[in-house]
Amino acid sequence: MVRRFLPGLLVGLLSGCSSVSYYSQLASGQWQLLQAREPVAQVIADPSRPQLLRDRLAQAQKARTFASQHLHLPDNQSYRLYADIGRPYVVWNVFATEEFSLSPQNHCFPIAGCVAYRGYYSQGAARGEAALLKQQGMDVSIGGVEAYSTLGWFNDPIMSSMMNWGDERLATLIFHELAHQRFYVKDDTEFNESFANFVEQEGTRQWRAARGLAPLSDAALQQRDQFIRLILDTRKRLEALYAQPLSAALMRRAKAAEFERLRSDYQRMRDSQWGGDKRYDAWINQPMNNARLLPFGLYDQWVPAFAALFRQEGGDWLKFYAAVEKLGELPVGERKAALRQLEGG
């Protein structure tokens, strides 16, 4: 579940930047990743490699084939390569907002357009950037990312950072990242990530069905949706709060009260509706600020709209993608209005 809130979309070598040092670490990190790639088939055939790794990669290749043949995602060498990167995350994304705002500090690049974070291949560099932003009075959050898409400019590998999850979670990562290759709109993170999240969710449902597995339990899906809704409701209350003409001191106290309300609402839901399931406790009990809420609004906002569009197109992936592309061609205002209409049914 964590990865869902820690988005993977860093273009790396393709991204321009006014900071020479920042650009240098992007180029170096992407180059090292490219150099570490090797064919998955070669790893699977090598008896000297750990059997668990070989088995996991073999299962991942079945999901990779399913992605192209059944979900109509790009059929290329992406995720048919493997790279051992020797660390738990490939990049660490730094999110930042003003103290009384939920608008992210955006960063714009020639190919990817504007995104709501800055990515670092070193955790230490990410922490250094976060410390500088905190000194400026910003709300800051760091999120580790197991995978990202280069939008088809390179053949993206399965990375060792993606192997910490079970076979099904690895499949969902592949579906999500290939969706970014399938379609991407510059300067609209909410659209891109909501689209990829929908493809991931529906693709996983179909992948389970194809293997004769029962659907994910309604309870687990309901908990996920309820937790996301709890965060989005908190965002709405904070946005309304920040629009009020209050002093900084009063605003700060009201902001803290909203985060305490989030925790108490979560605990009440967990204990009264989830039977005490603590799967989100680690996240909710960490220090809270605006930046920690950003991924929820950015990456889940339009998922219901894309689900409605998929139903509208009769569950036909090719028709769905064509409709998504038409949405992506609209001016941003018209695009959001169309998504809201879909969401409202």
Concatenated DSSP letters of 61-96:
HHHHHHHHHTS----SSTTSEEE--SSS-SEEEEEE
Q: How much is the pLDDT for 298?
A: 67
Which residues, at least 6 apart from 337, have a Cβ–Cβ distance to it below 8 Å? none
Using a pLDDT cut of 70, give the percent of the chain over it. 93
Residues 6+ apart with CB under 8 A from 237: 258, 261
Q: How confident is the model at residue 165 (pLDDT cuts 50, 70, 90)?
A: confident
Q: Alpha carbon of 325 to those of 73, 141, 176, 319: distances in Å?
A: 14, 32, 17, 10
β 118-120/113-115 pair status? unpaired
157's tokens: 């590998």
In terms of Cα–Cα distance, which of 91, 92, 63, 83 is closest to 163?
A: 83
Average confidence (pLDDT) over 86-104: 95
pTM of the predicted model, to two decimals? Answer: 0.84
| Tokens encoding 67 | 């992605």
pLDDT digits over 294-321, tens only?
Answer: 888 667 789 999 999 999 999 999 999 9
DSSP string, 261-329: HHHHHHHHHHHHHSTT--TTHHHHTS---HHHHHHHHHHHTTHHHHHHHHHHTTT-HHHHHHHHHHHHH
- Give the pLDDT confidence of 274-288 residue by residue, as tens digits: 999 999 999 999 999
Sheet holding 81-83, edge to edge: 37-39, 81-83, 158-159
Q: Which pLDDT value is given to residue 112?
A: 66
* Mean pLDDT on 239-254: 98
Element (H, E) at 37: strand 37-39
- What's the rounded mean pLDDT across residues 167-190? 92
CA–CA–CA angle 127, 248, 94 (5° rounding): 20
Taking the C-alpha atoms of residue 236 and residue 231, their distance in angstroms, rounded to an integer, is 9
| Polymer length in residues for the chain | 345
Between the alpha carbon of residue 150 and those of residues 15, 79, 129, 218, 227, the distances in Å are 10, 12, 23, 34, 30
- What is residue 24's three-state secondary structure? helix
- CA dist., res. 231 & res. 227, Å (int): 6
Distances (CA, A) of 186 to 96, 189, 294: 20, 8, 19
Place of tokens 């689209």: 195
Calculate the alpha carbon distances from 124 to 46, 91, 106 in Å. Answer: 34, 11, 21
Model confidence at 122, in pLDDT bands (50, 70, 90)? very high
Residues 38-71: tens digit of each pLDDT: 999 999 999 999 999 999 999 999 999 999 999 9
Distance, CA of 277 to chain centre: 24
